[in-house]
């Protein structure tokens, strides 16, 4: 779960990081002044778009097979057997 949360945070922040890096590298702007005229609305829109695409991809391609049967975790001989989808 932590992995998915970190991926989501990184995908949302990626446009801001790219813009900040570009402003510092190409324009030579100080980090504080790079954000004064930043297209924040566009960066937010691109960040949300990347976040939605990432979430849709993770939902589509992770997890068990569609129509599978879920078997919850159980203990066998004192050992916890994790849940699985058949």
What digits encode the pLDDT tens for the residues 31-64?
A: 777 788 889 999 999 999 999 999 999 888 877 7
pLDDT at 75: 93
What is the share, in percent, of the chain residues with pLDDT greater than 70?
100
pLDDT over threshold 80, residue 10: yes
Contact call for residues 50 and 14 (beta carbons, < 8 A): yes
pLDDT at 45: 97
Contact call for residues 67 and 57 (beta carbons, < 8 A): no
Q: Are strands 74-76 and 70-71 parallel, antiparallel or unpaired?
A: unpaired
User: Once rounded to an integer, what is the mean pLDDT over residues 1-9?
Assistant: 88
Q: From the CA atom positions of the chain, what is the Rg in Å?
A: 21
């Amino acid at each position: 779960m932590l992995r998915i949360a970190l991926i989501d945070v990184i995908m949302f922040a990626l446009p801001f990081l790219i813009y900040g890096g570009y402003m510092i590298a190409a324009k030579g702007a100080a980090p504080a002044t790079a954000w004064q005229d930043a297209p924040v609305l566009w960066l937010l829109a691109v960040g949300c778009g990347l976040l939605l695409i990432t979430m849709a991809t993770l939902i589509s391609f992770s997890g068990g097979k569609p129509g599978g049967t879920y078997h919850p975790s159980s203990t066998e001989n004192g050992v916890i057997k994790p849940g699985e989808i058949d």
